[in-house]
Chain A
Amino acid sequence: MPIPLNVLDTRRDSREERGPAVPPTEDVREQVFELEAKGEWLVQRVPDPWIGVTTKYGRIKKIPVAKTWHHKSCGQCGHIPGYSTAIFWLIRKLGLDYNDPKDQTSCTAWNYYASATSNQGAQAAVAMRNFGAAYESGYFPMIHCGTSYGHYKEVREELVHSAQLRDEVRRICDKLGKPFVMPEEIVHYSEWIYAMRDEFAKRRVLDLSSIDVTVHPACHYHKLVVEDAIYDPDVYGGQRTAVVSAVVTALGANVKDYSTWFDCCGFGFRHILVQRDFTRSFATLRKIDVMREEANPDVVLTHDTGCVTTLDQSQFAARAHKPNVGIPVMSEAQFAALAMGAHPYRVCQLHWHSTEYRPLLEKMGIDWRERWREFEDDLERLKKDDKAFLTWEDADA
């Protein structure tokens, strides 16, 4: 089914004639500052320099360039470690200052959405403990996981609207000796990638003009506190979040549309862990199959933990009865890093991925056989205890 982009163009034109509309939702950030003025909490300012990006209803959101405190993701660090590594590599490649903390916990929202074995107070306290730790370090939180990001934005709204919840959480932070502080913006790493995309494009070393990409926008990025996600009228008529898609275009690859882009991936939080028949069926039937049919992409790019895991891992079992599957999946951070010459194994750690990605690397002009040989040499050296760990210097050797 072709996507009616002409409808979107008409809508955009009429919007331009009407002029800017008043956003239908409040700007919670104003209340965050009001609460600071009342002495209820501190607000951690986005450090200079920052880049202004446009959110769904035309408001400007500040994205810090550097001095970022990396709120890591359970599933990324645990099962797709090339995801987090690629984010850090991109930052280092631009020579920017960052902090990869050891006093960070998970947002615990994956568990909350899976099992509900938690409550509003606990979830808010976990968030504010992490924000307090970031504030103490002098670095600004950058959230790697889409679920952490969406959940923290919900927590922010709940705290803003409930004095009782603020009191409960403030008491806990006092007990922990942590400052009670709310960041001025809640920033997802994919927003930083979006904001910095031209810098990546300048440093691109591969020709990606023959690479077709389908984008899966992460549910908890754009469906929770929707008004705070980044949109751009030039990306899908402003109907779909601009993160990821705009990065693909900036890097010179081709975004291909497909009709089920709004559908989730099938992760399901509890389903991926204990009821994967649903996850596999949804991921292959509603996403991978449809992408193959309508867009036939070389790669699926997304910007969240669960989506990479689900879309990638679900394809193996489906091979038994669906010849159509077999599209590699990775984050846009890994894709951008590859485009800028990052090592597919030392940095992007593609050996942790399931679906066959080597034909994609070949098409991108990457000699994966040689790169794998290099990585095997690294592993040999580690095995012989010539060195304890692979370092950043090794990664770029």
Chain B
Amino acid sequence: MVLQARYADVPIEEKQRLFDEVKADARFESYLYGCYECGICVAACPSARFYDFSPRKIAQAASREDLPMFYEQLNDDIWNCSQCFSCTRCPRGNNPGGLITIMREVSINNGLTSAKTALEGYGRVVYKIMSTGTQVSPDMLQPNAFPDWGPHVQEISDNLALWRRALPPDTMHTTSTAWYVDDRTLTELYLIWHMTGVLDMIKQVDTGLHMILNDVMEELLEEAGFTPE
């Protein structure tokens, strides 16, 4: 049996390049100190119970710089992680979940097909958080979005505006954002996305979303007299 048969056609230089990007992240050093192969992280890992997935293998591939295995994980494994950080129980002080956060960032930055697939159906959430400053809104509670949550989602969505008015805190009467965020604050958030290159990351994985976000943001930024660098 040949191990790591997948992605044999991808040149090793490409795998090395992506691995080097992961390794260059400032957090990498403090997330990996070698690995005992003890499997404590696997025992604690929720994703390992339901997927063919192992934080031990993530730590192993990264410490051994096993490029074929790393590349496989980058494409086939990292999006299964729950980012719960139960694996920080590692007696070696490793943080396999943290390594995965970095690997995901690299996969987005490089516009990998697997990253695009993983984010299918997720674009509306990115749009919500980046454009409104809150991640989930009451009006996302639609029966077609959460059919498995039962009929009470329909009840919430039918009564949404009224039920939001029945909340004593006056920041929470909103329906399209989780709470009221003022315009000045939104503008500041947009400036952060611009200045830190997050919009460029979005461009790598979803050009349509990038265009819409840019449109929404540029207008408010200009109005407020901010010029993105």
Bound complex: CA of A100 vs CA of B178, how far in Å? 13
A379 B122 Cβ-Cβ under 8 A = no
Of A158, A176, A395, most buried by chain B (CB within 10 Å of CB) is A176
- Shortest CB-to-CB span from A105 to chain B, Å, is 4
B181 A102 Cβ-Cβ under 8 A = yes
A122 B191 Cβ-Cβ under 8 A = no
Within 8 A of B (CB), among A290-331: 313, 316-317
Bound complex: CA of A150 vs CA of B84, how far in Å? 11
Q: Which of B82, B159, B179, B186 contacts A266 (CB 8 A)?
A: B82
**Residue A352, interface by CB 8 Å:** yes
Chain B positions within 8 Å of A162 at CB level: 26
A192-229 near B? 1/0 per residue, CB < 8 Å = 00000000000000000000000000011001101000
A354 B122 Cβ-Cβ under 8 A = no
Q: Which of B88, B122, B193, B196 contacts A274 (CB 8 A)?
A: B122
Q: Which of A44-52, A235-243, A383-391 contacts B (4 or more CB under 8 A)?
A: A383-391
**Residue A180, interface by CB 8 Å:** no
Chain B positions within 8 Å of A73 at CB level: 178
B169 A85 Cβ-Cβ under 8 A = yes
Known: A106-B129, A119-B196, A351-B163. A165 touches B26 (CB 8 A): yes
Of B26, B140, B173, most buried by chain A (CB within 10 Å of CB) is B26
Known: A102-B182, A125-B192. A119 touches B201 (CB 8 A): yes
**Residue B156, interface by CB 8 Å:** yes
Within 8 A of A (CB), among B110-161: 115, 118-122, 125-126, 129-130, 133-138, 140-141, 146, 148-150, 152, 155-156, 159
Chain B: CB-nearest residue to A124: B196
**Residue A12, interface by CB 8 Å:** no
Chain A positions within 8 Å of B11 at CB level: none
**Residue A347, interface by CB 8 Å:** yes
Bound complex: CA of A79 vs CA of B136, how far in Å? 8
Chain B positions within 8 Å of A110 at CB level: 129, 135-136
Interface extent on B, as a size class?
35 or more
Bound complex: CA of A46 vs CA of B44, how far in Å? 35
**Residue A253, interface by CB 8 Å:** no
Bound complex: CA of A74 vs CA of B130, how far in Å? 13
Chain B: CB-nearest residue to A316: B150
Q: Which of B2-10, B15-23, B60-68, B100-108 contacts A (4 or more CB under 8 A)?
A: B100-108
Within 8 A of A (CB), among B81-113: 82-86, 88-89, 101, 104-105, 107-108
Known: A108-B135, A113-B101. A74 touches B178 (CB 8 A): yes
A117 B201 Cβ-Cβ under 8 A = yes
B84 A223 Cβ-Cβ under 8 A = yes
**Residue B162, interface by CB 8 Å:** yes
Looking at chain A's contact residues, is the secondary structure mostly helix, strand, loop, or mixed?
A: helix
Looking at chain B's contact residues, is the secondary structure mostly helix, strand, loop, or mixed?
A: helix
Known: A178-B188, A390-B165. A271 touches B86 (CB 8 A): no
Chain B positions within 8 Å of A72 at CB level: 171, 178-179
Interface size on A (CB < 8 Å)?
A: 93
A392 B168 Cβ-Cβ under 8 A = yes
Chain B positions within 8 Å of A390 at CB level: 165-168
Chain A positions within 8 Å of B214 at CB level: none
Chain B: CB-nearest residue to A355: B150
Chain B: CB-nearest residue to A390: B166
**Residue B38, interface by CB 8 Å:** no
Chain B: CB-nearest residue to A263: B46
Chain A positions within 8 Å of B191 at CB level: 172, 175-176
Q: Which of B86, B141, B162 contacts A382 (CB 8 A)?
A: B162
B35-72 near A? 1/0 per residue, CB < 8 Å = 00000000010110111000000000000000000000
B84 A103 Cβ-Cβ under 8 A = no
- Shortest CB-to-CB span from B180 to chain A, Å, is 5
Q: Which of B121, B169, B173, B177 contacts A100 (CB 8 A)?
A: B169
**Residue B198, interface by CB 8 Å:** yes
Interface residues of B, Cβ cutoff 8 Å to A: 25-27, 30, 44, 46-47, 49-51, 79, 82-86, 88-89, 101, 104-105, 107-108, 115, 118-122, 125-126, 129-130, 133-138, 140-141, 146, 148-150, 152, 155-156, 159, 162-173, 177-182, 184-186, 188-189, 191-193, 195-198, 201-202, 205, 226
Name the 7 nearest CB pairs between A and B, nearest first: A116-B104, A316-B150, A78-B178, A264-B84, A122-B196, A105-B133, A113-B83
16 A-B pairs in the complex with CB atoms less than 8 angstroms apart: A78-B177, A85-B167, A102-B181, A103-B182, A105-B189, A108-B129, A111-B126, A111-B129, A113-B83, A114-B125, A116-B105, A116-B115, A270-B79, A274-B122, A317-B150, A354-B152
